[in-house]
Each structure stands twice: as C-alpha cells, then as structure tokens.
Chains A and B, each alone.
Chain A
Amino acid sequence: MKFSFTEDQRMFAAGLKDLLANECTPTHVREAWENHTGHVPQLWARLADMGVLSMLVPESAGGMGGNFVDAILLFQEVGRAGVPGPVLEHMAVAAPALANTSWGPSLVDGSQIATLWVDNSPYVAHAQVANLVLRNDSVITGFSSSDAHGIDGGRQLFTISGGTEMGASAEVFGLAASDVMALASAAYLIGASERMIEVAAEYARQREQFGKPIGSFQAVKHLMSDALLKVEFAKAPTYRAAWSASTGAATAIRDISMAKALASEAAYRASRSTMQVHGGIGYTWEADLQLWMKKSWALMRAYGDATFHRRRVGASVLNK
C-alpha cells in the first residue's frame, strides 16, 4: 500500500503556497475584513488563472480534471493562508457541480462567484460577493442579502431574500455538497492550524520573560507539542478521506466524517494553545493570530461539527 502524494500534486501545492505567501498576506486578509467584502478580487483572478478554482472541473468543461486527492493539499494551502471568500464553496462544489450548465464557463474562469447554502443554517456565508447561491437542488440568483455579522471577517454571514430559483444539482463525484464541504473544510482547518502553530512558535522564539525566550519553558513547549500532535494525526485521515471520496469507496462518508471530526478538534486545540502562548497580545485585534482562529471557530462548526461527525462515524463502526 502506497500512502503519499505524487510529485505533481506536491509541486502544484507548493506553487499555490508561494502564490499565497505573496498575494494573501495577513494585510490582504485584514483588508478584506475591513472593507466588509470578505473577498480579495485580485487574488481570486490569480486562483482562476492557476487552475485552482477549476481543479475539480472535468477537462471537457475547461477545468483541470482533478479529483479530491489532487485538490486536498490545495484546500490545506488555502487554509494556511487563511484565504477569505467563498474559495472552498466555489472550487469544491459549485464549479464542478455546475460545470456542464450555462454557469459553467463563468465559474471556471472565475468571472462569476458562487457560494453554497446546503445545510440547515439560516445563514449563507459569502452571499454578498456571490453572483449565485447553490442549494442542494437549485440555484438562486438576483437575491438581496442582509448582514448577519459573522465572527470571521473572511467568512461573512448573511440572510438572503428574493431572487430567482432554478433547478440544479449540487452533487460532486456522487457526494452531497455538505459532505464535500466537510472534507474541504477539514483540509482547510489543518492548514489554518499549521499556520497558527508556526506563528506561535515564532512568537515563542522571540518573546522573552525571566530573561529567556518563552519557548524555552517546558510549559510552553508542551502546549505547542500537544497542539501539533492533534494536527499531525488529523492529516492522514483527511488524505485518506480524499482518496475514498474520489474513488467512490463504500466508506467515503465515514472517512469524511472522521476527517472533519479530527480536524475540527485539532483546529480548536491549536487556536486555544497558540492564543495562550501569545499571552495578552493573543487577545488583541492587532495580533494576526485572530485571522486563523476565527476562521477555525467558524469552519469547525460549519458543515457538521465534531460531535455530529463523530456520531456518524459511530453509527458506521459501532452497530453490527
């Protein structure tokens, strides 16, 4: 059994990481929060050019023709950068699901933006910047949106009203949109967690108390190591879930749920520990840490929280 990514998959992810390091800095993310769009238009165009937005769209519809194994490291890199806006919703579900409809071309080239409303939440994330909202069996356009004041400025919440609704399917690779989003969110949360740990480790190397860097104290080392442990052990299950989802495995739903449960808990642990390592500065608006913490707190609940997903795993493995 081989459990690793291909050289091409690694290189594509590394290319995206480089792009985001320049085009999606904390300054860019803050700008998107502060102008109340939760969106970075110039970055969106670059993601379309690079083929990120159309990774899961078949080649016959102008996309990259990839599957979830090709996409999973991209979701993780997008999370590492804390990319604001409906990138997961657009890339993981709307673009591939609507590829062969009249909306397809504009979603592949990114000239139109799609978001999702596929769960029982009264709120639609990213509605303000979206041209269309995809539901499980319809598309809504021409709606008006009203701000519901989400905690994460990069995942703004709205209630929507009015508009025109047309029939459509939100399935991707035979999976329901909310399951696909659980998988994509798991990878995003892993990337965000890795970034929080990196930022806190850097802080712990610089910040001195008692005449030493705080990272030299065991209490700090152990907080950080435990945070890393949970993230590292969420990775392989998330990559396996991508494989199961791509190959139509009978265990796909169970595997996705396992990934989302583990990644949600890992991200929450990472947010708590890294904030604690920051001390008082971690509780300020000024510290960039909040960009990934708030994203984590939003996504760990979206598309099913850890309890929901753990029980779905339990239903699959405990009963005879």
Chain B
Amino acid sequence: MEVGTEEQKAKFLPSMASSEIVWGQAWSEPNAGSDLAGIRSKATRDGDDWILNGQKIWASRAVWADWCFGIFRTDPTADRHRGLTFILCPLDLPGITVRPIAQLDGDTGFAEIFFDDVRVPVANTLGEENKGWNVAMATAGFERGVSLRSPARFGEAVNRLIHLWRTYADPTDTALSDAVTDVWMQAEGYRLHTYQTVTGMLEGRPIGAEASLNKIFWSEMDVRIHEIALQILGPEAERMEGPFERWVDGFLFSLSGPIYAGTNEIQRNIIADRVLQLPKGM
C-alpha cells in the first residue's frame, strides 16, 4: 500500500485481504540474521527478468505460502544497505526448493528456500531498484508497531490465565496473584498503548523507531503470561498433550517472540540509537 504501483496494488491486495494467496517472508539467510544487511542472495538482470540465486532461511509461512516477498542483492558494488531490491516471487516456479524446518513445538511453519536460476519479471520489483532496504525497514516498522500482534490476543490469553488461576491456584499465594495481576496490567497497558499509537497515526504522527518498544513489550509479556500459567499447572505443564496442551504449546511459541521480527536485543539497539539518540556502534 505504501510503495506498490497501482498495477501491483490491483493485482495483489484483493487476494491478500481475502487470504486467497498466502505470503511468506524471505529475508534472513544462514549468515544474515540480526545483521540482515549482510544478505548475499542475488538478483541479476536479464532483459525484463530478474534471475534469482541464493538461500533464504526462517522464511515464515513459506511451507504453505503461494508467494514470497524477499530482498536480494542487485548491486554488489554498492554499500551493504544499498544495492538491495525488494522482489515478489511465486513459490511454484522452476528452480525453487522449499525445505520445511521443524520448530521447537514440532510444527513446521518456517522453511528454507533455495533459489536456483529462478526467473521473475522485473515488474515484480516492489519500490525502487536498489532501495529494497528502505522498503524492508518500512514494512518492519509497521510490523513491530501495530500489525504483528493485536492487543486482543493478549487480553484473551490473560483472561484464560485468570480463569486458570481461579480454578487451580492457591488464592493465598500472593506472589502468584501479584504475578497474574501484573500480566493483566501489561495486557491492558498494551491495549491502551496501541489505541494511543493508532490515534497518533490517524492524526498524522507516523510511527517511528518507537515501534521497537512495542515489539519488546508484547514478546516479553507473552512469555511471562505462559510462564505463570505453567507455574499454576505444575506437573501438567510437563505434558505436550492433554487438557492443557494449549498452554504448553503457547509457551513454546511465545519463546520465539523475543527472537523473530528482529531480536529484542536488536530492538534495544534501535531504541537507543534512534529514540534516545545514543551514538552508533556495537
């Protein structure tokens, strides 16, 4: 919506909104995770086509996705952050191999994608050629800021936690009731903070690096909610299947939150550099 051409918007947005076409993300590579600008997968121009070569990893939803959006190096002579281009690619083309990766919870959500002389039209470029980093950062900012985790998700989880506490916990254990109250406040605070952010966007105050605060907050809250649930469950928390498997699954999934979409340590660097204006450097 921000950088697509009218043609691209008409082609992709309706099927995206209806979930007819599922998209996977092809950004990280084996040697470019937190240091994303170090990607090596390349796109070389051949007439009206890009020829894609390389390997992507941790590609969310790629196992069942129809298309992927990736960043590829298009100008090897430019600086690391320049010379990258954002390219949209169907996953059923010749030369593409998708290899699922089993997650900690046993599911397969993410995958490796191998590109071997894959040919896509140059019209599939999103944004300007060699400006792919800017497109990627704009989408990442939006993802961290408001779109990745809705407040209702945590409100619902905390309500289930309160129900669990009422049903199984010792009400005289004040450390436990304090902990449950604390995550209720976090979920409620996240909801209010999101309203504030969205109102700000509607009033013309765009979301900036503060988005990184959001990502740290909800991912740590999600882990905490599940830790408390497992504490209440006691021996049942050791079972992968049974009446409480949703909590155990949820705990495992919550542990990915502080890692994906940019690790929380990277988010802390972003906040320090861009919100607090501390000097760059590792």
Interface, chain A (partner B; CB < 8 A): 1-4, 197, 201, 204-205, 212-213, 215-218, 220-222, 224-226, 228-229, 232-237, 239-240, 258, 261-262, 307, 310-311, 313-314, 317-318, 320
Contact = CB atoms under 8 A, between A and B. Distances in A.
A236 B182 contact: no
B278 A215 contact: yes
A229 B281 contact: no
B71 to A, nearest CB: 25
A237 B165 contact: no
Interface string B244-282: 000000000000000000000101110111011111111
A318 B162 CA distance: 6
A216 B269 CA distance: 9
Nearest to B281: A216
A225 B216 CA distance: 10
A237 B278 contact: no
Contact of A215 (B165, B182, B190, B272): B272
Interface stretch (B8-16, B22-30, B122-130, B194-202): B194-202
A228 B275 contact: yes
Contact of B272 (A225, A236, A237): A225
Contacts of B273: 221
B265 A222 contact: yes
A197 B276 contact: yes
B192 interface: yes
9 contacts: A4-B200, A213-B279, A216-B282, A218-B265, A222-B268, A222-B272, A237-B189, A261-B185, A313-B181
A261 B189 CA distance: 12
Contacts of B162: 317-318
Contacts of B177: 311, 314, 318
Nearest to B273: A221
A232 B162 CA distance: 26
Most buried by A among B190, B196, B217, B272: B272
Contacts of A240: 192
A212 B265 CA distance: 21
B193 interface: yes
Nearest to B185: A258
A311 B203 CA distance: 36
B279 A215 contact: yes
B165 A310 contact: no
Nearest to B186: A233
B278 A317 contact: no
Most buried by A among B265, B277, B279, B282: B279
Contacts of B272: 215, 220-222, 224-225
Contacts of A307: 178
Contact of B271 (A212, A225, A236): A225
A260 B174 CA distance: 19
B192 A3 contact: yes
Contact of B184 (A2, A201, A225, A313): A313
A3 B197 CA distance: 8
Q: Is the interface of A mostly helix, strand, loop or mixed?
A: helix
A73 to B, nearest CB: 13
Given A233-B193, A311-B178, A262 B185 contact: yes
A318 B166 contact: yes
Contact of A233 (B198, B217, B276): B217
A222 B269 CA distance: 7
A265 to B, nearest CB: 9
A184 to B, nearest CB: 19
A13 to B, nearest CB: 16
Most buried by B among A233, A237, A240, A261: A233
B166 A218 contact: no
Contacts of A220: 272, 278
Given A221-B268, A222-B265, A229-B213, A3 B196 contact: yes
Contact of A314 (B166, B178, B278, B279): B178
B276 to A, nearest CB: 5
Nearest to B190: A233
B236 interface: no
B111 to A, nearest CB: 31
Contact of A229 (B216, B277, B278): B216
A231 to B, nearest CB: 10
A201 B276 contact: yes
Contacts of A262: 185, 189
B227 interface: no
B180 interface: yes
Nearest to B174: A311
B66 interface: no
B210 interface: yes
B185 A237 contact: yes
Contact of B181 (A235, A239, A310): A310
Contacts of B165: 318
Contacts of B75: none
A310 B268 contact: no
B192 A236 contact: yes
Given A220-B278, A225-B269, 6 more contacts: A3-B199, A221-B278, A225-B268, A233-B189, A311-B181, A318-B181
